[in-house]
Chains A and B, each alone.
Chain A
């Protein structure tokens, strides 16, 4: 693990890289099922984005703590997969229960996305990346948030384009998911323009 202290600009680099250069949806290929599934309408896309930002920003540090203070001291890092999915599932269930009690309007807006989030590979994948990249607690929190922001950006851009499909004449066989995937490829290409920005 690297010992040098991170300067402010390093954190900024981390954010820019997670949002634009290694965008979690388009370049790292994590969380593509909800990307295709909830992007047909703008409001569901926005709801999903906020749910992911919230859950990921909390789940990232939580799984980091679980890894550092539970799995590693007891030398059971090989059950990381099992442990992380349990932490995420329990956390999501907890948020759902609390949200239902404390803020019904928020629950109505985000509630239906929460069960989907447990099996969202963006969440799980970022938690694993935090460990594999050997981030510390602050870095993994920032990385989790930035990844989720990248997810939100790509999802909202994609939903905006996809809403226009209603007015376009698309060959019958390509209508729906197929044209969506090709569009995602083009959005991904535009994200490549950022590639020279960091390192």
Chain B
């Protein structure tokens, strides 16, 4: 597979969280508004790409038996960087994402890419970077798509701006937690119509 293919597979054929149903918690929790979804997506992209780089560089050094612990330590370090960076430069985002920033540490997408891709000997460094960025952007696109649906119909706004007509009665159900489950389930079902279905 070429470099471009490693990147683009994260955008459609293997797009998280729809193709692999992993990392569900942030998908559900951070998709109430487009702003949150986009911010969460970028944070995750940084962590996946960063941890893929380090793990790809260290894969010959890390002993096989303790690899998961090592991966988690690497990932946690990147999450701390994101935590401190959002606190300093995007405080509003830091407050609205809340505990879901530290929770990137236990996000299965990040650990999954480290385990299934970056740590494999056959994948060189630049492939791991492409894979990490692709997965991160794919996740961002999914979150923004889901958040757009929930925000436009649940609140009548997009990125905080009113876009629906004045008499529009928003479906507040979509903004509530059960709405998140329902929208995610529906989108997953629709995504299964296109492309091959992968069960976890």
A residues engaging B (CB < 8 A)? 26-33, 35-37, 78-82, 85-86, 89, 118-121, 124-125, 128-129, 132, 171, 173-174, 176-189, 192
Contacts and interface: CB of A to CB of B under 8 A. Distances in A.
Contacts of B189: 171, 173-174, 178-179
A128 B105 CA distance: 12
Interface of B: 21-26, 28-29, 68-69, 72-73, 76-77, 79-80, 83-84, 98-99, 102-103, 105-108, 111, 176-182, 184-186, 188-190, 192-193, 197, 199-200
Contact of B182 (A30, A31, A177, A181): A181
A169 to B, nearest CB: 15
Nearest to A186: B178
Contact of B188 (A79, A118, A121, A181): A181
A193 B68 CA distance: 41
A188 B178 contact: yes
Contacts of A37: 200
Given A36-B24, A82-B77, A180 B185 contact: yes
B185 A81 contact: no
Q: Secondary structure at chain A's binding surface: helix, strand, loop or mixed?
A: helix
Contacts of A85: 72, 76, 105-106
A183 B179 CA distance: 11
A165 to B, nearest CB: 13
Given A36-B24, A179-B185, A89 B177 contact: no
Given A37-B200, A119-B72, A178-B189, 7 more contacts: A78-B80, A81-B105, A85-B106, A120-B106, A173-B190, A186-B182, A188-B177
